[in-house]
């Protein structure tokens, strides 16, 4: 059996469901979640180990038009992460219109050129099938509008687990062949003291 391994950057505007998705794919909490934008301030690596692949998920801060020095530094960290990964997963919430912020981010990652982009339509359980189909069509048209291409479009629900396996399969298929990069059973490379501090910060939010 061919084994694949590599890094997937989960990107999107603030509150697009990136951290919740990362936690759902890994199967436990590795990134804090909150309704408050910019909760994630560091790139957290969640590790999904399967028989055929090891997928290292990088949960970045939400990219946005910065208004502060902190915002500028968070954006720099996002772009640095993009340049070093094998696949980019772009989160677009199903329950919100594709807005200027989404297009801003999509344009930035399309400009990278070589990195395959999987569009993850998050919160798919919040729409009827008809409305979801319409939203997926709009996502497809976005690539043409920005003169880019998507490797695939996958609607998911971190809440119900819908299509999480399909998404993981898609990520795995796009990774290069390679050995495991982390020991089996490890779910994050975050030091314990940092993980504890992040959980305390989540409780404070």
CA neighbor of 178 nearest in space, from 3, 44, 22: 3
Q: What are phi and psi of 2, to 5 degrees?
A: -70, 130
**Which of the 8 DSSP states describes residue 42?**
S
Block residue for tokens 């790139």: 43
Distance from C-alpha of 67 to C-alpha of 75, rounded to nearest angstrom: 11
Q: What's residue 32's pLDDT? A: 54
Domain count, the chain: 1
Q: What is the residue-level pLDDT of the chain in tens, covering all 205 positions?
A: 899 999 999 988 888 888 889 899 998 777 655 445 444 445 668 899 999 999 999 877 666 677 788 878 877 777 777 878 999 999 999 999 999 999 999 998 998 887 899 999 999 999 999 999 999 999 999 999 999 999 999 999 999 999 999 999 999 999 999 999 999 888 887 544 443 444 343 444 4
Q: Does residue 84 contact residue 114 with C-beta atoms inside 8 Å?
A: no
What pLDDT does 37 receive? 45
Which CATH number is 35's domain given? 3.40.50.300
Strand partners, 177: 4
The per-residue pLDDT for 41 is 45
Interhelix angle 129-145/100-110, rounded to 10 degrees, is 50
- Cβ(47)–Cβ(187) below 8 Å: yes
Which residue carries 């999987």 as its tokens?
118
Question: So what's the pLDDT on residue 62?
Answer: 62
Q: What is residue 200's predicted lDDT score, i.e. its pLDDT?
A: 40
What is the domain extent for residue 192? 4-204
Q: How far apart are the first and last CA of the chain?
A: 45
| 117-122 and 87-93 strand pairing | parallel
Q: Specify the pairing of strand 152-155 against strand 117-122.
A: parallel
pLDDT at 64: 64
Q: What is the pTM of this model?
A: 0.82
- β-bridge mates for residue 55, sequence order: 6, 48
């Amino acid at each position: 059996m061919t084994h694949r391994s590599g890094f997937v950057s989960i990107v999107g505007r603030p509150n697009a469901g990136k951290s919740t998705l990362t936690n759902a794919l890994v199967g436990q909490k590795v990134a804090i979640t909150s309704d408050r934008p910019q909760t994630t301030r560091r790139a957290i690596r969640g590790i999904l180990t399967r028989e055929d692949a090891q997928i290292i998920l990088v949960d970045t801060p939400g990219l946005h038009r910065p208004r502060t020095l902190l915002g500028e530094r968070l954006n720099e960290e996002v772009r640095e992460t993009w340049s070093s990964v094998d696949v980019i997963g772009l989160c677009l919430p199903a329950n919100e219109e594709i807005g200027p912020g989404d297009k801003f981010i999509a344009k930035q990652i399309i400009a990278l050129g070589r990195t395959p982009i999987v569009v993850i339509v998050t919160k798919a359980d919040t729409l009827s099938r008809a409305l979801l189909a319409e939203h997926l069509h709009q996502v497809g048209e976005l690539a043409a509008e920005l003169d880019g291409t998507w490797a695939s479009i996958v609607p998911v629900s971190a809440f119900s687990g819908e299509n999480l396996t399909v998404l993981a399969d898609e990520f795995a298929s796009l990774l290069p062949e390679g050995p495991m990069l982390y020991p089996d059973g490890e779910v994050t490379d975050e030091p314990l003291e940092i993980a504890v501090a992040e959980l305390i910060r989540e409780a404070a939010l």
